[in-house]
Amino acid sequence: MHQHKQVTLENGLRIITVPQNSTQAVTVLVLVATGSKYESRKINGISHFLEHMFFKGTEKRPDKLDIAETLDKIGGIYNAFTGEDYTGYFAKVAAEKFDLALDWVSDIYLNSLLPEKEAKREKGVIIEEINMLYDNPMSRVGLLWNHLLYGDQPAGRDIAGTKESVSAITRNALLNYMESQYVAGNTVVCVAGRIDGEEMIQKIKKYFAKISVASPIEKPKVIEKQTRPAVLLDYRKTDQTHLCFGGRGHNIFHPDKYAQDVLGVILGGMMSSRLFIEVREKLGVAYYVRTSVDANPDTGFLMSQAGVDNRNIEKAVATIMREYRKISKEKVPPAELQKSKDHIKGKMALLLEASDELAAFYGIQELMEKQVLTLKEVYNKIDSVSQEDILRVAKDIFQTKNINLAMVGPFRNKKTFEKILLQK
């Protein structure tokens, strides 16, 4: 297991180092606690827009080509991502090049110039990204799921924003948002891989010395309100209907978070899971069917997703519903429970062989929960999940009033599907 070290500087910047001798790589990951849940309707998409703009030039690397070539020249892997609660920037390089990676990540994070002409051009790029997600029913249904659960509040809006909101964002708005959110108290720097932890902390201190210490804006509270099952249909003339189907669940701080994870795997997290067997193997009506669990600081859900032949959509929804009801009434057999726990642990062990996954594992925990569990501690939490826990969590999540179904396909009549959702 890995020995991580964590320090918080006087200015509030948190640094985590995770030495890993079994690799030739180093990943530098910088995370900031800001994302689409922090945005008003007017500036919806600004976190994501800003993430794009960090690749457009700094004083030291004035052009987007300079930014890209720095790491292209050494075969580095680099990228950024925006979520609802956080944004991240990373570079993964051969261990002997880690100084360059640290210099590059800190440079774009602290010194981006946000050139006006690049901002105008990038709007076109982001609008094409929005179009791409809209045109792809599999992506589109995931966005609809959030709209269905949270409606017209930041948690219910798209991370990329809308064409209108993105078009209206000014350079000044980008600058103000960056100055407000990209501050020491909101930032975690996590470095994992073939490193000397002590030496690395000194280097990070040096590179991040000029980070601002302003106070960031708070995230508005998410309102969860549901009294009956809900269906949202997006009519499209497609050959296949894509659906997201599940229930409101527990957030990241809830004691049942790990039981919720195990429940998700039992239902649809592997090829021998219940929904894969029932919907794909037995019925043969879907190519992909999977269940995911999403637990954030203020929201959580368990949701199954599938692409189904239009003629068999009612059968598929009824089958998934039947499995939800069954797992809420009958205890999971011990062997199936054990298999699902071992699956989660085995998958984590494989993932965390890579320095970028290791950096994210420690960094995101610290940023979101302000505490870090080691892999062994997480394993213990998973091991302690009982049959009774699974039953209780399933009963809670799959209460009729909690259930939601979002679909993209050639259907306009909600009533047919509402009827299935109400079946006991």
pLDDT digits (tens, 9 = 90+) for 229-267: 999 999 999 999 999 999 999 999 999 999 999 999 999
66 and 111 assigned to the same domain:
yes
* Residues 6+ positions from 55 with CB-CB distance below 8 Å: 64, 67, 68, 80, 108
Q: What is the pLDDT of residue 424?
A: 73
Q: How far is CA 20 from CA 1, 28, 191, 194, 354, in A?
A: 9, 13, 10, 5, 9
pLDDT at 3: 87
Residue 88: inside a domain: yes
Residues 6+ apart with CB under 8 A from 374: 1, 2, 4
Does residue 221 belong to any structural domain of this protein? no
Q: Are residues 179 and 245 in the same domain?
A: no
Mean pLDDT, range 139-159, rounded to an integer: 97
Q: Are residues 240 and 199 in the same domain?
A: no
**Is residue 264 in some structural domain?**
yes
**pLDDT per residue over 36-94, tens digit each?**
999 999 999 999 999 999 999 999 999 999 999 999 999 999 999 999 999 999 999 99
The residue-averaged pLDDT of 340-368 equals 97
Predicted pLDDT at 212: 97
Are residues 118 and 245 located together in one domain of the fold? no
Range of the domain at 180: 5-207
Please answer whether residues 89 and 108 qualify as being in contact, where contact means their C-beta atoms are separated by less than 8 angstroms: yes
Does position 126 have pLDDT exceeding 80, yes or no?
yes
**Helices (H) then strands (E): counts for the chain:** 16, 11
Query: pLDDT confidence of 197, banded at 50, 70, 90?
Result: confident
Can you tell me the mean pLDDT for 273-290?
96
**What's the number of domains the chain is made of?**
2
Q: Is residue 415 part of a domain?
A: yes
Q: Which residue blocks in 73-218 are alpha helix, DSSP H?
A: 98-111, 116-135, 137-150, 163-168, 171-181, 197-207
Statement to judge: residues 46 and 126 lie in one domain: yes
Are 243 and 166 in a shared domain? no
282: nearest Cα among 274, 290, 293: 274
Give the CATH number, domain containing residue 286: 3.30.830.10
- Residue 215 in any domain: the answer is no
% of the chain with per-residue pLDDT over 90: 97
224 part of a folded domain: no
Query: Which among 372, 348, 388, 392 is positioned nearest to 190, based on CA atoms?
Result: 372
> Is the CB of residue 48 less than 8 Å from the CB of residue 82?
yes
Instruction: Say if 55 falls within a structural domain.
Output: yes
Say if residues 194 and 71 touch (Cβ distance below 8 Å). Answer: no
Please give the share of the chain, as a percent, with pLDDT higher than 70: 100
Question: Is residue 66 domain-shared with residue 103, that is, in the same domain?
Answer: yes
Instruction: Check whether 179 has a pLDDT greater than 90.
Output: yes
| Average pLDDT rounded to a whole number, residues 366-374 | 95
In a domain, 121, yes or no: yes
Q: Are residues 293 and 399 in the same domain?
A: yes
Q: Are 302 and 393 in contact (CB under 8 A)?
A: no
- Of 207, 242, 261, the one marking the end of a domain is 207
CA distances from 285 to 161, 267, 281 (A): 34, 17, 9
Q: Is the pLDDT of residue 135 over 90?
A: yes
Read off the tokens for 21. Answer: 């001798």
Closest by CA to 302, choosing from 285, 327, 284, is 327
Residue whose C-alpha is closest to residue 116's, from 165, 61, 173:
173
Mean pLDDT of all residues in 265-281: 97
Please tell me whether residue 76 adopts helix, strand or coil conformation. coil
C-beta of residue 341 within 8 angstroms of C-beta of residue 382: yes
Give the span between the Cα atoms of 80 and 48, in whole angstroms. 10
Report the distance separating Cα 108 and Cα 90, nearest Å: 10
For residue 263, the 8-state DSSP code is H
State the Rg of the chain over Cα: 23
Neighbour order of strands in the sheet with 240-248: 230-235, 403-409, 240-248, 300-309, 286-295
The pLDDT-based confidence of 24 (bands split at 50, 70, 90) is very high
Q: Domain end: 151, 173, 207, which one?
A: 207
Amino acid at 378: V
**Residue 1 confidence (pLDDT):** 64
286 SS3 class: strand
**Amino acid identity, position 344:** I
**What value does the mean pLDDT take over residues 162-181?**
98
- 222: nearest Cα among 120, 367, 85, 64: 85
Same domain flag for 256 and 136? no
pLDDT greater than 90 at residue 423 = no
Q: Helix or strand or coil: residue 250?
A: coil
Catalytic residues: 51
Angle at 378 between CA 270 and CA 218, to 5 degrees: 100
Averaged pLDDT of the chain: 96
Same domain for 306 and 243, yes or no, is yes
263 and 186 Cβ atoms separated by less than 8 Å: no
Count other Cβ atoms within 10 Å, centred on residue 316: 26
Co-location of 254 and 202 in the same domain? no
Residues 6+ apart with CB under 8 A from 45: 36, 39, 126, 158, 159, 160, 161, 162, 165, 166, 169
Is residue 159 over pLDDT 70? yes
Are residues 273 and 188 part of one domain?
Answer: no
